[in-house]
């Protein structure tokens, strides 16, 4: 009985650590995705975009629910994309390539939650894109899928 309680406590602690890690990584993705998208000219139309993100993490005992966010991309954002890349405290895009409707990037984050990531975006005309990203942090791999669509004008 004591062994069972110890195992339960261990797995509960692991789940809490994974929840915190997933939240931190998700926050990084939401902060960095717009900068990764605009490091080169895009075929995107300005406006309000809805971004749906799904994640899978190795060793996670349950499925992470999708996250839906919105972001307003201005005409200036899509016209002069280099100006939209914000400097992040501990993260840096190390490689960026854009050709036709395909964009790829690599990113390195240092500090407490050091990680490496690489991703790809495929633009579906000027009002939608899909993409994937693989991030490795603290020995764990996380796979992220993005689906985005323009839902109207910015408010």
Q: Which residues of 122-131 are buried (b: 16+ CB within 10 A; e: fewer)?
A: ebeeeebbeb
Strand pairing partners for 116? 108, 136
C-alpha 3/C-alpha 14 separation (Å) is 17
Express each pLDDT in 63-99 by its tens digit: 889 999 998 988 877 775 444 444 457 888 888 888 8
Entry pTM: 0.68
Residue pair 84/96 in contact by the 8 Å Cβ criterion: no
Domain ranges, ordered by start, for the chain? 2-152
């Amino acid at each position: 009985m004591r062994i069972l309680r110890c195992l339960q406590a261990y797995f509960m602690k692991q789940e809490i650590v994974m929840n915190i890690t997933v939240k931190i990584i998700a926050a990084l993705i939401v902060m960095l995705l717009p900068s990764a998208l605009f490091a080169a000219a895009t075929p995107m139309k300005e406006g309000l975009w809805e971004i749906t993100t799904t994640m899978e993490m190795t060793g996670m005992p349950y499925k992470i629910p999708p996250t839906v966010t919105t972001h307003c991309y201005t005409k200036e954002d899509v016209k002069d994309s280099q100006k939209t890349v914000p400097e992040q405290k501990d993260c840096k895009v190390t490689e960026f390539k854009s050709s036709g409707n395909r964009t790829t990037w690599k990113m390195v984050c240092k500090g407490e939650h050091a990680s490496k990531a690489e991703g790809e975006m495929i633009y579906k005309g000027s009002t939608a894109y899909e993409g994937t990203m693989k991030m490795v942090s603290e020995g764990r791999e996380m796979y992220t899928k993005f689906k985005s669509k323009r839902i109207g004008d910015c408010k």
